[in-house]
């Protein structure tokens, strides 16, 4: 009979690289035994911290950290209403920490707990962005020279080409204005140019960021087909999932989606209907490692591969979890990677190392990553909210991504 108990769950918010990170540390009554988890919902960090400090943390204190499945299930329904990115992230912070503890108890890296390695490391894609195709090609070329084999190429940043130049109409409300037609005009040409310049060997990716009407998305997916993308990401919003059937019927451009999924039904439908080729869920936003393992296995049965979401708002702890999933899941596809700065590497010793375009997990027990609380405190979080989340069409209409 186990005497092991959770004694505390501490939540930290730090901002060493421009975005707020939410880190959870689960402590136990066994000397020196603790686990780390990622609960980063960077735009609602205080809500996640309150959910952890006032609700989910107190709920798990006193319980046996070894019962991960039961704690995940009960943590999710303890407030009766369930799901949603705030609660999912809070539960994720605990869930990842419990897997970290499980690995430390077993003396094994997490990937060993999930069946061992299918591959030594996770192939990565990185980002090249520019205002003009020549600039994008130069940045992509530099990344390829560093050893990366897959590059996501964007013209004009998050909002797409011309995003900065779209004028706010007289009386238009504040927001990040963008013109979807500019994407249709310029993106096919961008990828024709990149194929010419970069050759056939590199894997090219493009993210629509849900900023096209569904039929325009189908048009773009078909127009890009000759350029053989590795995948086209988020061509429609989660509410427009059923439109993917139309897009599939007109072209064979591989489709990736899922970073905005919070309810498990969204992913289940996308996978079981074979609307997508790659699942892009943000592991902490779906509730952590426990649901991610189940989702990965569901995907395997339907021929869908994983491509876990991982910009800078997945903390290094979350990245370690992703890389352990990547090497252990047979149907791994690719791992997004945002290059990490020195402060993050110092705060999070054990951050997976990148070499030759791959991320390598280390052999330490658990997730193999640590957290320097004192150093993290030197990077306090700001309170600004991004404006790109409130984007508007040229006539001032709000766009729902
Ligand atoms: Mg995306």
Domain with CATH 3.30.390.10 in the chain: 6-109
Instruction: Say if residue 328's pLDDT is above 70.
Output: yes
Q: Closest Cα partner for 77 from 68, 64, 87?
A: 87
Residue 209 a catalytic site member:
yes
Question: For position 159, what pLDDT does the model report?
Answer: 81
Please give the Cα distance from 124 to 335 (Å, whole number).
5
Q: Per-residue pLDDT tens for 150-191?
A: 999 999 888 888 777 888 899 999 999 999 999 999 999 999
Average pLDDT, the chain: 96
The model carries a pTM of 0.97
Q: Per-residue pLDDT tens for 75-107?
A: 999 999 999 999 999 999 999 999 999 999 999
342 Cα to the center of ligand 1, angstroms:
25
189 Cα to the center of ligand 1, angstroms:
21
Please give the Cα distance from 170 to 164 (Å, whole number).
17
Domain 6-109, CATH number (from 3.40.50.1980, 3.30.390.10, 3.40.50.970, 3.30.450.20): 3.30.390.10
Question: For position 135, what pLDDT does the model report?
Answer: 97
16-41 mean pLDDT: 98
210 Cα to the center of ligand 1, angstroms:
8
The vertex-117 CA angle with 114 and 121, nearest 5°, equals 125
312 Cα to the center of ligand 1, angstroms:
12
Domain with CATH 3.20.20.120 in the chain: 113-366
Give a three-class secondary structure readout of the chain: CCCCCEEEEEEEEECCCCCCEEEEEEEECCCCCEEEEECCCHHHHHHHHHHHHHHHHHHHCCCCCCCHHHHHHHHHHCCCCCCCHHHHHHHHHHHHHHHHHHHHHHCCEHHHHCCCCCCCCEEEEEEEEECCHHHHHHHHHHHHHCCCCEEEEEECCCCCCCCCCCCCCCCCCCCEECCHHHHHHHHHHHHHHHHHHHCCCCEEEEECCCCCCHHHHHHHHHHCHHHCCCEEECCCCHHHCCHHHHHHHHCCCCEEECCCCCCHHHHHHHHHCCCCCEECCCHHHHCCHHHHHHHHHHHHHCCCEECCCCCCCCCHHHHHHHHHHHHHCCCECCEECCCCCHHHHHHCCCCCEEECCEEECCCCCECCCCCCHHHHHCCCCCCCCCCCCCEECCCCCEECC
91 Cα to the center of ligand 1, angstroms:
23
144 Cα to the center of ligand 1, angstroms:
21
Q: Per-residue pLDDT tens for 30-73?
A: 999 999 999 999 999 999 999 999 999 999 999 999 999 999 99
The percentage of the chain sitting over the pLDDT mark of 90, rounded to a whole number, equals 95
Q: Per-residue pLDDT tens for 104-130?
A: 999 999 999 999 999 999 999 999 999
| 267-293 core/surface letters (b: 16 or more CB in 10 A; e: else) | bebbbeeebbbbbbbbbbbbbbbbbbb
Exactly one of 45, 127, 209, 282 is catalytic; name it. Answer: 209
Q: Closest Cα partner for 174 from 385, 392, 383?
A: 392
CATH architecture group of domain 113-366: Alpha-Beta Barrel (3.20)
Residues flanking ion ligand 1, Cβ below 5 Å? 207
Q: Per-residue pLDDT tens for 348-374?
A: 999 999 999 999 999 999 999 999 999
- Hey, which residues does 127 pair with through a beta bridge? 152
Reading the block at residue 38, the tokens are 């990622």
Residue 309 a catalytic site member:
no
257 Cα to the center of ligand 1, angstroms:
8
């Amino acid at each position: 009979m186990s005497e092991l108990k959770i004694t505390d769950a501490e939540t930290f918010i730090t901002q060493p690289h421009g975005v707020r990170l939410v880190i959870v540390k689960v402590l136990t009554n066994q000397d020196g035994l603790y686990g780390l988890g990622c609960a980063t919902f960077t735009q609602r960090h205080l809500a996640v911290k309150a959910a952890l400090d006032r609700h989910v943390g107190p709920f798990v204190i006193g319980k046996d950290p070894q019962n991960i499945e039961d704690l995940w299930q009960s943590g999710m329904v303890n407030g009766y209403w369930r799901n949603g990115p705030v609660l999912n992230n809070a539960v994720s912070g605990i869930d990842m920490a419990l897997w970290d503890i499980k690995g430390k108890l077993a003396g094994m890296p997490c990937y060993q707990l999930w069946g061992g390695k299918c591959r030594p490391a996770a192939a990565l894609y990185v980002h090249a962005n520019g205002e003009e195709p020549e600039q994008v090609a130069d940045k992509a070329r530099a990344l390829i020279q560093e050893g990366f084999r897959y590059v996501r190429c964007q013209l004009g940043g998050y909002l797409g080409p011309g995003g900065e130049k779209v004028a706010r109409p007289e009386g238009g409300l504040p927001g990040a204005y963008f013109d979807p037609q500019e994407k249709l005009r310029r993106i096919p040409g961008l990828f024709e140019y990149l194929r010419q310049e970069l050759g056939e060997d590199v894997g090219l990716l493009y993210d629509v960021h849900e900023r096209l009407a569904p039929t325009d998305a189908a048009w773009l997916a078909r127009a890009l087909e000759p350029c053989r993308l590795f995948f086209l990401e988020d061509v429609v919003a989660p509410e427009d999932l059923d439109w993917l059937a139309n897009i599939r019927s007109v072209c064979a451009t591989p489709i990736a989606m899922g970073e905005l999924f919070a309810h498990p039904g969204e992913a289940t439908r996308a996978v079981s209907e074979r609307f997508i080729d790659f699942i892009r869920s943000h592991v902490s936003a779906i509730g952590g490692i426990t649901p991610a393992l189940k989702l990965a296995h569901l995907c395997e049965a339907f021929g869908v591969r994983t491509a876990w979401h991982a910009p800078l708002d997945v903390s290094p702890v979350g990245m370690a979890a992703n890389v352990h999933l990547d090497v252990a899941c047979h149907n791994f596809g690719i791992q997004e990677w945002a290059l990490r700065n020195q402060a993050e590497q110092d705060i999070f010793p054990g951050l997976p190392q990148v070499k030759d375009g791959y991320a390598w997990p280390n052999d330490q027990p658990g997730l193999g990553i640590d957290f320097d609380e004192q150093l993290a405190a030197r990077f306090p979080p700001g309170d600004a909210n991004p404006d790109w989340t409130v984007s508007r069409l040229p006539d001032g209409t709000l766009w729902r991504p």
